[in-house]
Structure formats: C-alpha cells, structure tokens
Structure 1
Amino acid sequence: MKHHAAFGLAMEDIDAVVVEDSKPMQTILRSILLSFKVARVRVFDSVDEALEASLAEPPNVILTDWRMAPTSGYQFLRLVRHRHMEPLCYVPILFITAHGTRPLVDKALRAGAHHVLVKPVSPSTLFKRLRWLLNDDRPMILEHSGFYNIYGIQKTMDEQAEKMQSLAGARLHHRIATQKRAEVEDAVEAAFDKKEPEPRNAFASTRKGRAKDEQQDKPRQSAAARHIRNAGFAAVKGIKVH
C-alpha cells in the first residue's frame, strides 16, 4: 500500500493539473490555485492532452470536470487509476462539476476520486479541500480488478448508503404517520363541526310536543269534565248518576 502523490506536501510544493473544457472556468481555477502560491498549474482543454502531459510529468493533484467530450471525467479517472499507469495511478483526483448529484458522487468516490466539489466553487472551499487532501493518509491499494483505489472506500460508501436508506425509511415512516394524524384530526374536526339543534328550536319542539300531548289528552279531559259536571247537576236535582 502506498499513499497518494500529494500526501505530506506543503501547498507551495503542489504541481496541479486542471482539465476543463470551459475557458472561463480554466481562468478561474488557475487564478484561485495561483493565489494559494502553488508551485505549478497546468491547464488542458481535453482528457487526451492532460493524460499525455501527465504521463510525461506526473502532477501531485488533478482537478477535472466530469462532463467532457469525447472523453469524460469518469473515463479519465479510470484510465489514471489503472495499474499500468504507475506512478500516475497514485495521483489524487478532485472533481469540480456543476452536476453534483448523489449518484454521481457515489460513482466518483467508488471509482477512486478523492473528492467532488460543486460549481461554482469558492476559493475558501477549494483551499480547505486541498488542505484536507494534503493530510489524507488513506493508502492506495490495488484491487482485484486491476485498478488502484482508496483503502476502505467501498466499505465507507456502503455504510453511508445504508445510513441514507435508513434515513429515507425514517422519513417515509414519519410522513405516513403525519398523514394519518392529519386524517384523524380532520375526522374529529368534521365530527365536532356537525350542527346540533339550537336551544330555541329545541324549546319550540318541546312546546309543539306538549301541545300535541295536550290535544290527545283533551277528549279524555273533556269526558271527565262532562262527567263531573253532570254529576253536579244530578246532585242538585237528586238524581243518581252512574
């Protein structure tokens, strides 16, 4: 196992190669790197040019775009990491891309990239990443596939993927629970919002019911009253009423 080509160096000792097909971005990255007082900056428009120059004079670090034609940044990474490219295979590679999606980052790091930065990159962010890189003591190992890679990177990425999957599951569970709670709250609110009979209506209904009952009792009451009245008349006349 061997450390990458930039490990333990000072910023002033760095020989950097930039592979970027955008002229404005080339200018920006060159200016930023020179402001760090690095020893050397070489800029190339394509992978083919950068690969040829890097094989002749291996740099200490490579900064490259991801989407380039005809050879992409990922293809460049795989070419560099092949065991037949020694000592170039030990050079750390940092991607600077406008398409820093999670699948892209996962693919780049699993293939041997040391870091992925998203455009537009600030000088302070790039400086911190380079500082981190100079102290990154993870060794390079030769895999069974014939490509060099960072020791332990596959395990690290698997653990991160598992954590993300667990987090995604937890978020899904929380979303479902929140939805169910909202449904229950809506149901309870709807139940309480049902209009109950108002007191006046209830009173009117009660009066109406009583009036109906009184109306039904009226014939019975009238018959009783007539009986009492007739009994009174009969008593006056001395007649027995049965």
Structure 2
Amino acid sequence: MQPLLPLAGLNILVVEDDDDIRFFITTVLEADGATIVAVPSAPAAREVLPQLQPDVLICDIGMPGEDGYTFIRKIRALKPDMGGQVPAIALTAYNDSEDRIRALEAGFHTHVSKPVSPGELVEIVANLFASCNW
C-alpha cells in the first residue's frame, strides 16, 4: 500500500515572478500530491482566484508592479466566495522581523524565508491548510 501524499487533493495558487522559483515550488508541491496553478504576477493571480478557489495561496512579496503586500490586501477585501479568506503564505527573501510583521499585518497567515527546503515547504503548506480547515 502506497503512503498518502501530504498534499493530496489540495489546489494551490502560486504567485511568483521568478521562473526558476515558480518551477521549484510547483515541482515540489505536485510531487506531494497537490494541484498547482502558478502565475507570474498579482494581476494574473486575481484573474484566476475566483474560479480556482484554491485551498492555499503562496505568494512572493518582492514582485515588480504590484508587490505581495498590496496583492494580499486586495484579496482580503474580497468576499469569501471570491477567495477573500484563502489561507496565504508569504514566501519571500525579505526575512527580518519587520518584514514578517508587515506580511502578517497585510493579511498573510505565515511568513517563510527563501530559500526553503522541499520538506519544509510541504510541511508549512500542510500545516497551514490543516490549521485553517478544522
């Protein structure tokens, strides 16, 4: 009998402007059973969010144009049926305590510093989903 994949059945939206990091996140999470939609910008994410209704959102902070802080504030202003309450992870190179506080105040549930190991990423996503969906 094959062990269950920790993220089996989860739909995850990844918002990351760096192609290599977006590929890394997608590869790691798909290997653990998640279905991923990965987009390179906040505007692209807002287009797919209402239809996708992801179980978890992973978003970079330092994106050109619209940063992750602005993006998550706009998401939190949406109604729940439009994705406004999606559990959200800030995955960012901005990693001091002020950045963490700013991310949480903007509306992210957790702040994770890059680089992140594959195992840590899977654990963070699984734990966030479990804590927000009991």
Q: 1:31 to 1:138 in 2, by over 3 A?
A: closer
Report which of the two structures shows the higher radius of gyration computed on alpha carbons. 1
Matched-pair contact (CA < 8 Å) for 1:79–1:85: no
Say if 2:55 is the partner of 1:63.
no
Say if 2:80 is the partner of 1:86.
yes
- Higher helix content, 1 or 2: 1
Who is 1:126 aligned against? 121
Who is 1:7 aligned against? none
The match for 2:31 among 35, 40, 45 is: 35
Who is 1:108 aligned against? 103
TM-score (ref. length: structure 2): 0.88
* C-alpha RMSD of matched pairs (Å): 1.7
TM-score (ref. length: structure 1): 0.50
Distance in 2 separating the partners of 1:56 and 1:135:
22
Give the unaligned 5+ runs of structure 2: 1-5
Q: 1:138 to 1:44 in 2, by over 3 A?
A: closer
Distance in 2 separating the partners of 1:54 and 1:43:
11
Instruction: Give the Å deviation of 1:37.
Output: 1.0
The match for 2:40 among 40, 45, 48 is: 45
Give the number of the structure with larger relative contact order, counting CA–CA contacts within 8 Å between residues 6 or more apart. Answer: 2
Instruction: Give the Å deviation of 1:58.
Output: 1.4
Give the unaligned 5+ runs of structure 1: 1-9, 140-242
Distance in 1 separating the partners of 2:68 and 2:132:
24
Alignment of 1:1-242 (within 5 A): 11-38=7-34, 40-82=35-77, 84-87=78-81, 88-137=83-132
Paired residue total: 128
Q: Give me the identity figure in percent.
A: 26
Instruction: Give the Å deviation of 1:138.
Output: 8.5
Instruction: Give the Å deviation of 1:137.
Output: 4.6
